[in-house]
Every structure is written in structure tokens, then in C-alpha cells.
Amino acid sequence: MEALMEANRAVVVCGILEEAQGRIFLARRGADQALAGCWEFPGGKVEPGESLEAALCREFREELAMELRVGEEIGRTRIPGNGSLELVALRAWTDDERPVLTVHDRWCWVSPLEAQGLELAPADIPLLEAFMAARSE
């Protein structure tokens, strides 16, 4: 899976981590971050020439000190307020139980239904919906 980097569009990748009991991993953006206090599927910008999978693994290492196994794409959406950024969600798994927070101030494992009750970053809402729809198929 290659990151599609167009001249005027950047790609951001995020991971929807799922554990055996069906809970998913969310992290809350820290006070010094854009959208501070919002919960999100962690990730970050894809560098030129970098695959989506490699970018996701790098971002989780840098931001959470977690190693991932990456699966299929869940969905894509535009980041509201910035039409040039596309957010791509990939399914992922980890064996790391305790992340080390560097840009987030909290983390949690919640059911997808519980996640709907949290203040999610706007771009993550349709990705959560896509994840839930894929699970019910």
C-alpha cells in the first residue's frame, strides 16, 4: 500500500488498534496540541516516499513507544478545516500494554460504542463509523 502524495495534498495516517476483547485504543490530544482534549486514533503525517504502514509504525514508535502489526485500510476522510489533508485509517494490533505518552495526555481501551460517547477529533468520527460498519458485515 503506497501513500499517494499529490503536489497539494498531504496524507495523514492513523491506527485503529483492536484487542482480542474488541476494545479499541484511543489517545487524548495534549494541552499544547491542536484539538487539545479531543480523543483520536493516533498517527501522523506520511513522509514523501513512505508507505502508510511504515508511517503508522514510525508515528506509534515516536509518540507512544508502541510497536504495531498493521492490517487493512478501514477508511479515508478529509480533515475538516484543511481540505488539503486526507486522513487514512489502518487496522492495527499491538502487544505493548502501556504506551509512553509524549504528545497525548491520556489513553484508553474502550468499546466502539463507548468511543462514540467521547469527544472525538472531527476527522476520526467517520473512521470510527467505518470501523463499526466493517465489523458488523
What CATH number has the domain bearing residue 23?
Answer: 3.90.79.10
Residue 82 has pLDDT above 70, yes or no: no
Give me the chain's average pLDDT, please: 90
Residue 3 inside a domain? The answer is: no
Domain assignment present for residue 47? The answer is yes
Position 37 in a domain: yes
Q: How many domains does the chain have?
A: 1
Question: CA-based Rg of the chain, rounded to a whole angstrom?
Answer: 14
Q: Is residue 69 part of a domain?
A: yes
What is the span of the domain harbouring residue 19?
10-135
Q: What is the DSSP letter of 66?
A: -
Asked whether residue 4 is domain-assigned, the answer is no
Query: Could you read off the pLDDT of 105-137 as tens digits, one per residue?
Result: 999 999 999 999 999 999 999 999 999 999 876
